[in-house]
Amino acid sequence: MSNFSNDSIQENDPLSETPEIIFPSPQTLPPKKRRLPKDVWANTFSILLIVFCFLLVLYLIPEVASQLVYQMTRGSERAKAETAAKLLKEFPAPETRIPWVVKKAGPSVVSIQPISRVITNNRKIFDAFTGLGSGIIVDKEGYIITNYHVVRAENRFQVTLSDGRSTQNVRFVGGDPGIDLAVLKIDIADLTPMEWGDSTALAVGEPVLAIGNPYGFSNTVTYGIISAKERYTRDFNDSNKREPQEYLQTDAAVNPGNSGGPLVNMQGEMVGINTAIFGETYLGICFSIPSALAKKVYEEIRKKGKLSFGLLGVQLGDSSLNTEGRAIGVVIDGVMPGYPAEKAGIQPGDVITNWNGTEIHEAIQLNHAILFTSPGAHVKVACLRDGKRIEFEVTVAKRPVRMR
């Protein structure tokens, strides 16, 4: 075995000699670029993302909250309406049905406020609500029927729904001041249209509800009965109104703001549109346009934007009475040359007793029946001539605007 000493190692190791170390001049070193660590960039991005999300949440919270409230309100109303529709089939007594009738019909009733541009004495211009009325949603697409006198003087409106939603994006589709009906259109989703009832099937004494916004008190409900049917008049408060009108009479309280709202039967269906009262204040005599007439007007306005009225071409006289003093028809005082009555063979002195299946008793009733017969329709007319019954078939003409 060989023995090695430290000295021998040092002598033979070439690395044992200390080399000369030369340090480069500081000017010869390349400058180093300072870089942020990757984790700093990641942390900065995370902070910015958190701030952005926080601001986004702050922006969206009101809208989301509003939508949640609406969905809860809307869902509740829809559930109540659907439940009410089912329960109304089970409750025969009116006193047990009324709350459910209101729940079913209520979501279809709206408040209508015309808007006018007002100029003050110091020339400031602002918008102001200039009236108040009610309306009825009759189609999911946003069609609303109301009284013409509610909207006649304005071209801007605010419509407020029972769930609190409102819009001023309201289009006037059409209307007629003589009939006092108008149709509006709104663009709001999830609407609950009211069902049309049959006003011709109503019986005097049948219970009804009036729903509307009298004096701004929204969703007000009053109870009454059908006091009378087929009340014909030109206007209870305006003797100069030229068009005859048919009304239902009710004692359900109607006040300013109720105009355009529904008269509802115990099935939750609209059977009339509340329109007028007798006198300056409520006296228990109120009038509604029957749904049979209102539906006809609505469908024609929606389709054409205006109404067309029928013309027979006769001058109406007084009612003809039988031996008991009861009116049995209307005497024809004159016939216009070239018009439908003359073409069909109707003569002066004839007594019209029946118009298209409806018994005629007075002139205003016959005038109303002719007016609301569609131009071009073929109508069977029964007359008395020298005590004998004669039937004619008349093709109704279109009434010119100047004759209205």
Closest to 269 (Cα-Cα) out of 130, 136, 144 = 136
Of 180, 227, 319, 361, catalytic: 180
Task: Characterise 310 by phi-psi region: left (phi > 0), alpha (psi -120 to 50), beta (else).
Answer: beta
Q: Is 181:294 a contact under the CB 8 Å cutoff? A: yes
**Cα–Cα distance measured from residue 322 to residue 397, given in angstroms and rounded to the nearest whole number:** 31
Give φ, ψ of 214 to 5 degrees: -65, 130
Asked about 361 being catalytic, the answer comes back as no
Of 259, 288, 291, 319, catalytic: 259
Closest to 138 (Cα-Cα) out of 254, 301, 373, 305 = 301
Q: Are strands 378-385 and 388-395 parallel, antiparallel or unpaired?
A: antiparallel
How big is the CA angle at 141 (ends 66 and 292), to the nearest 5 degrees? 125
Task: Characterise 40 by phi-psi region: left (phi > 0), alpha (psi -120 to 50), beta (else).
Answer: alpha
Of 111, 149, 199, 350, catalytic: 149
Q: Which two tokens stand for residue 106?
A: 């209520």
The structure tokens 């902070």 sit at 47
Buried b (16+ CB within 10 A) or exposed e, 247-285: bbbbbbbbbbbbbbbbbbbbebbbbbbbbbbeeeebeeb
Directed axis angle between helix 38-87 and helix 94-105, to 10°? 150
Buried b (16+ CB within 10 A) or exposed e, 11-44: eeeeeeeeeeeeeeeeeeeeeeeeeeeeeeeeee
Asked about 166 being catalytic, the answer comes back as no
Asked about 259 being catalytic, the answer comes back as yes
Catalytic center residues: 149, 180, 259
